[in-house]
Structure 1
Amino acid sequence: MSPHALDLLAPTYVTPPTERERPPGLPEPTSDEIRLDRVFAVLSEPLRITIVQRLLTSSDEFDHTCGWFGFDRPKSTLTHHFKALREAGVLTQRQYGLERRSRVRLGDLNERFPGLVDLVLAWEPTPSA
């Protein structure tokens, strides 16, 4: 990751919180199982790349529910997008009671695909016509 990208990251990604009691994560690929084609496929959806970008730049806490984003979409739609991101290895999720909270797998993505996070951080949505 470039030094400039570090300036864009939310504090929780620059200095992660200390390990604390948290529920175990939901099923996800190991770092070695994350495939670039799957990551590109899930990030090709503008809402998904927006989710990742917002987690990386605006997250003040360790992890967030889908309601934190304030998207005007049905919960079932958001759940689908978060699951796709998790299954591709982009996010990790934990179950807190009835809530699933998400966090970008920053270390794994940087290790597997150097420069990818820089591209996500630099992405801008295409203006609507």
Structure 2
Amino acid sequence: MPRSQRRRTALTHPEPEEFDVLDILHAMSDPTRMTIVRTLRSAPERACGTFPVDVAPSTLSHHFRVLRESGVIRQREEGTRRWTTLRAEDLDRRFPGLLDAIVTAYETSAAGREQPVAAGRADRHDPRS
């Protein structure tokens, strides 16, 4: 079926009062998802195909879903692209300092030092986005 004829599923985003700290900790326990979060801290909004990660599109979709359903990110569709933003203010309102603490701990850990955030592929056109 051509992409233009596919039905897109509605994106669900929890309200801040629905955020669960264990869901957030789980969402941010993966190096790929941490790369997404760290990238969004320096770029307010990015198209899904422009993140500096080397995973299959289906795997990347899974990571976005985990982050979105936990409340860490918000996604919106515009045309054929899906745009992603970090919900830093919502997270900080619900759990003050949690996002900063997790990112700082990750960046000072061995895993974070081995996974520097690259500039990404923001200028690359990705028709899958």
TM-score by length of 2: 0.71
**Identity between Structure 1 and Structure 2 (%):** 39
CA contact (8 A) 2:20 2:70 kept: yes
Runs of 5+ consecutive residues of structure 1 not aligned to the other structure: 1-24
Amino acid at match of 2:76: R
The structure 2 residue matched to 1:100, chosen from 82, 88, 104, is 82
Alignment of 1:56-67 (within 5 A): 56-57=41-42, 59=43, 62-67=44-49
Please report the RMSD computed on the Cα atoms of aligned residues, expressed in angstroms.
1.8
Measure the CA separation in 2 of the matches of 1:74 and 1:80. 10
Shift, 1:66, TM fit: 2.2
- The answer to whether the Cα contact below 8 Å between 1:49 and 1:120 also exists between their aligned partners in 2 is no
- 1:53 maps to which residue? 38
Equivalent position SS for 2:84: strand
Q: Is the 8 A contact 1:53 1:121 kept in 2?
A: yes
> For residue 9 of structure 1, what is the aligned residue in structure 2?
none
Q: Aligned residue for 1:71? A: 53
User: How many pairs are equivalent?
Assistant: 101
**Moved runs in structure 1, 4+ residues, more than 4 A?**
none
Structure 2 gap segments, 5+ residues each = 1-9, 115-129
The normalised TM-score by structure 1 is 0.71
